[in-house]
């Protein structure tokens, strides 16, 4: 018998958008898209846990959000690839925030190498973080969401729909898997009252991908290879590249009761690049 997701048609827009009383954990929330998502969630009133492999950065992100929005926040040093780390982190978040209503699988890595030269360790790491990490986090979160259910938001990528650039075989494969997992978990978790929604951004400058692009340019320069600058604007239909906050607002919609009708879908947040 499916969980009866309530009909919310008589509630106000402001109430539907509010995340007050809905504790949220954002993996990889110390910087980049994860921090932008945590920030909008906190503004919407959610108590927020920043879970990141970088515990120091997670702590300062959590402190910053508490100061800015006056919500309860906590930080957790968590490696999403390790079951025991995820379980301990979720329990710590529930202890600190009182419950768990929203889980965002955002932690991700994106090393780039042509498929004919990609070391197997790099392939495995991408799948460990992006795919295995999403599976472990979702499984452990869904069963702790309580009688009112909750929402899992998976940060996919347009790389879950297409292969947007060379050198991304592992990343593209891992994100296609997360897109598939979003559908499979929506089915499995519906009886628990848990919606599962994906958000698929196109390229957005963040600390992580700026550093990666820099490292690639330096490696190429050291090898005497001339690499043309990446044309990230070539397919945007909105006249600019997306920002972390563009993605955070879509994640907020997905997590809020505005999106009660949605589960198992992946929302393209891509400036029209994937049409």
Ligand X SMILES: NC(=O)c1ccc[n+]([C@@H]2O[C@H](COP(=O)([O-])OP(=O)(O)OC[C@H]3O[C@@H](n4cnc5c(N)ncnc54)[C@H](O)[C@@H]3O)[C@@H](O)[C@H]2O)c1
- Residues 110/171, Cβ–Cβ less than 8 Å: yes
Q: Which tokens sit at 139?
A: 């499984």
CB of 207 to ligand X, least distance (A): 4
CB of 134 to ligand X, least distance (A): 9
CA 97 distance to own-chain centroid:
20
Query: Does the footprint of ligand X cover residue 235 (CB under 6 A)?
Result: no
CB of 85 to ligand X, least distance (A): 8
Tell me which of 123, 171, 203, 253 is the catalytic residue.
171
Query: Does the footprint of ligand X cover residue 157 (CB under 6 A)?
Result: yes
CB of 8 to ligand X, least distance (A): 28
CB of 242 to ligand X, least distance (A): 8
x-or-dash pattern for ligand X, window 113-152, by CB under 6 A?
A: ----------------x---x-------------------
State how far the alpha carbon of 113 is from the alpha carbons of 101, 119, 126, 219, in Å. Answer: 38, 8, 12, 12
Of 123 and 203, nearer to ligand X (C-beta) is 203
Separation between Cα atoms, residue 73 and residue 55, nearest integer Å:
14
Separation between Cα atoms, residue 93 and residue 270, nearest integer Å:
31
Of 28 and 149, nearer to ligand X (C-beta) is 28
x-or-dash pattern for ligand X, window 33-52, by CB under 6 A?
A: xx-----------------x
DSSP 190: G
Q: What is the DSSP string of 211-261?
A: HHHHHHHHHHHHTT---PPP-TTTT-SSSS---HHHHHHHHHHHHSGGGTT
Of 142 and 200, nearer to ligand X (C-beta) is 200
Single residue of 207, 249, 262, 274 touching ligand X by CB under 6 A: 207
**Is 171 annotated in the active site?**
yes
Query: Does the footprint of ligand X cover residue 110 (CB under 6 A)?
Result: yes
Query: Do β-strands 150-155 and 266-269 pair in parallel, antiparallel, or remain unpaired?
Result: unpaired
Strands of 73-77's sheet in order across: 73-77, 48-52, 24-27, 102-105, 150-155, 194-201, 266-269
Q: Residue holding tokens 């320069």?
A: 221
Query: Does the footprint of ligand X cover residue 80 (CB under 6 A)?
Result: yes
Question: Which residues are known catalytic residues?
Answer: 171
Residue ranges in contact with ligand X by CB under 6 A: 27-28, 30-34, 52-54, 78-81, 106-110, 129, 133, 155, 157, 201, 203-204, 206-209
């Amino acid at each position: 018998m499916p969980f009866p997701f309530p009909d919310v048609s008589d509630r106000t827009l402001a109430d539907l958008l509010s995340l007050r009383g809905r504790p949220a954990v954002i993996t990889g929330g110390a910087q980049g898209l994860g921090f932008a998502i945590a920030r909008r969630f906190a503004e919407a009133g959610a108590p927020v846990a920043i879970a990141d492999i970088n515990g120091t950065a997670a702590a300062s992100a959590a402190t910053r959000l508490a100061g800015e929005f006056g919500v309860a926040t906590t930080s957790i040093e968590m490696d999403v690839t390790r079951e025991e780390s995820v379980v301990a982190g979720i329990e710590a978040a529930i202890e600190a925030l009182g419950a768990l209503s929203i889980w965002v699988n955002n932690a991700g890595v994106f090393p780039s190498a042509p498929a004919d030269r990609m070391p197997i360790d790099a392939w495995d790491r991408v799948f460990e973080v992006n795919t295995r990490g999403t599976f472990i986090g979702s499984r452990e979160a869904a069963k702790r969401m309580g009688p009112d259910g909750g929402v899992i938001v998976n940060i996919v990528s347009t790389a879950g729909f297409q292969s947007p650039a060379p050198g991304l075989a592992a990343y593209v494969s891992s994100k296609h898997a997360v897109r598939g997992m979003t559908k499979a978990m929506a089915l499995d978790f519906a009886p628990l009252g848990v919606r599962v929604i994906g958000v698929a951004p196109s390229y957005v400058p963040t600390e992580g991908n700026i550093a990666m692009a820099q490292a690639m340019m330096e490696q190429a320069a050291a090898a005497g290879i001339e690499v043309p600058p990446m044309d990230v604007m070539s397919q945007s239909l909105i006249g600019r590249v997306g920002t972390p906050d563009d993605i955070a607002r879509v994640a907020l919609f997905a997590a809020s009761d505005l999106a009660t009708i949605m589960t198992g879908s992946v929302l393209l947040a891509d400036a029209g690049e994937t049409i």
